[in-house]
Amino acid sequence: MSELRPQEGSFSLGDVRIAVITARWNSEVTEGLRKGALRALKQHFVQTVKDFYVPGAFELPLAVQRAARTGRFDAVIALGCVIRGDTPHFDYVCAETTRGIGEVGLREDLPVAFGLLTTDNLQQALDRAGENQKNKGEEAALTVLEMLELFKNMQEKK
């Protein structure tokens, strides 16, 4: 079964405002995710992008919620990376970060892209953050654009 990627065509969104929030922890990986997201947004002519950083993945949900509540953004992209270690810390951080990011989108009725890598090792993370078709930052950006287009189409009167 082939993996379905988010819509890669053109989006007719007009002027949308997007916040990109990137965790600094594992920056070798997260900067690649960030570059992929910004590249995709630029390719789709998104002009209003605000870049923010948080210390680590665990801080992403709070920052995403704050960005959503400002009313300044139409969508938020959360980018981070957690690499499995020898303790259960990985499981706790991944579970709570995932839950928190998901709750923000539902509570604030705003597209929030989940660009959190949860990998077993550094190489898996680098493979998903490189300048290639597997870049999950790019995929996160395409996801929010597709969701914004969906929301716009739901509001249109026929």
Range of the domain at 24: 17-150
Looking at the domain assignment, is residue 156 inside a domain?
A: no
Structure tokens given for 150: 């969906």
- Counting other chains too, the contacts that 68-73 makes at CB distance below 8 Å and 24 or more residues apart are 68/104, 68/108, 68/110, 68/112, 69/108, 72/17, 72/19, 73/17, 73/18, 73/19, 73/110
**How many domains are contained in the chain?**
1
Candidate list 5, 69, 89, 107, residue with the active-site label: 89
**Is 112 within a domain?**
yes
**How wide is the angle at C-alpha 51 spanned by C-alphas 94 and 27, nearest 5°?**
50
Catalytic residue flag (residue 89): yes
Query: Residue 126's CB: how many other CB atoms inside 10 A?
Result: 16
Region of 109 please: left (phi>0), alpha (psi -120 to 50) or beta: left
Domain harbouring 114, CATH code: 3.40.50.960
The H or E element spanning position 116 is: strand 112-119
- Residue 33 has φ and ψ, to the nearest 5°, of -65, -45
Domain membership flag for residue 158: no
As a whole number of angstroms, the distance between CA 14 and CA 118 comes to 33
Rg (CA), the chain: 15
Q: pTM for this structure?
A: 0.89
Residue 50 placed within a domain: yes
> In tens digits, what is the pLDDT along the chain, a chain of 158 residues?
445 455 555 676 778 999 999 999 999 999 999 999 999 999 888 888 899 999 999 999 999 999 999 999 999 999 999 999 777 788 888 899 999 999 999 999 999 999 999 999 999 999 999 888 889 999 999 999 999 999 988 887 66
